Amino acid sequence: MNEKNTVCGVWGNSTIPQEKTGTFKQQIKMQLLKKIEQHCNDFFVIFTNQADMIFMDVALELQKEYQITIRILLPFFKWIDTLSESERQQREKYLNLIDEPCCFCADKAYHDIMSICSCSLVDYCDNLLIICDGQPNDATVGMITLAEFLDYKTEYIRL
C-alpha cells in the first residue's frame, strides 16, 4: 500500500535558552524521525525566531541520511535585511544549503505579519508541527487557533 507523501508545516516562533538547546534538538530529532516514519518527507519551515534555526540544524543533519525536502517561508521580501549581522549570516547559510527556492508571506512588513505568516504556512502544508517553549506567544496562539479551526493534524514539541 502506497501512502501519500504529506507536507508538514513547521512553526517555531520561540526563543530557546542556550542551556536547553541540546534537549530541544533531541526532541526535534525524535519528532522528525517519527514524521519520516509516517511518510512525511517534505517540510515547510517559516523563519521567525530561534526555534526554526534549531529545527534547520536537525533537519539538515537528517537530510544527509533520509530523503527529505526542506522549504523555507520568509515573513516578507526584505525580512532578512532587518536581522543582526550574525543572525543574517546564519539564515543565509541555511538558505544556501537547501535546493528549494524560498517563498515569502508578504511583500513588506505589515503590522499583522505573523497572522499573514500563519495563513501562508497553512496554504503550503497539510499538517503542522508547532515548536514552543513554555507559554506560547500571541502569534503561536494564533497559529494554534487557525490549525484547530481548519482541523489540521497538529503535533507539538514543547520544552
d(CA 67, CA 4): 15
Is 32 within 8 Å of 61 (Cβ atoms)? no
pLDDT confidence bin for 2, thresholds 50/70/90: very low
Boundaries of every domain in the chain: 12-158
Percent of the chain at pLDDT exceeding 70: 97
Q: Give SS3 for 49.
A: coil
Q: Is the model more confident about 100 or about 96?
A: 96
As assigned by CATH, the class of the 12-158 domain is alpha beta
pLDDT > 50? residue 95: yes
Q: Which residue shows C-alpha cell 530557546?
A: 16
Q: Which residue shows C-alpha cell 484547530?
A: 148
d(CA 37, CA 153): 16
Helix axes 21-37, 50-63, angle to 10 degrees: 50
d(CA 78, CA 128): 26
Q: Could you tell me the strand order of the sheet in which 42-46 lies?
A: 103-106, 69-76, 42-46, 7-11, 127-132, 153-158
* The three three-digit cell numbers of residue 60, written as one number: 539538515
Q: Give SS3 for 116.
A: helix
Are β-strands 69-76 and 42-46 bridged in parallel, bridged antiparallel, or unpaired? parallel
Q: pTM for the whole thing? A: 0.86
Helix axes 85-97, 50-63, angle to 10 degrees: 30
pLDDT > 60? residue 3: no
* The three three-digit cell numbers of residue 118, written as one number: 500563519
pLDDT reported for residue 1: 34
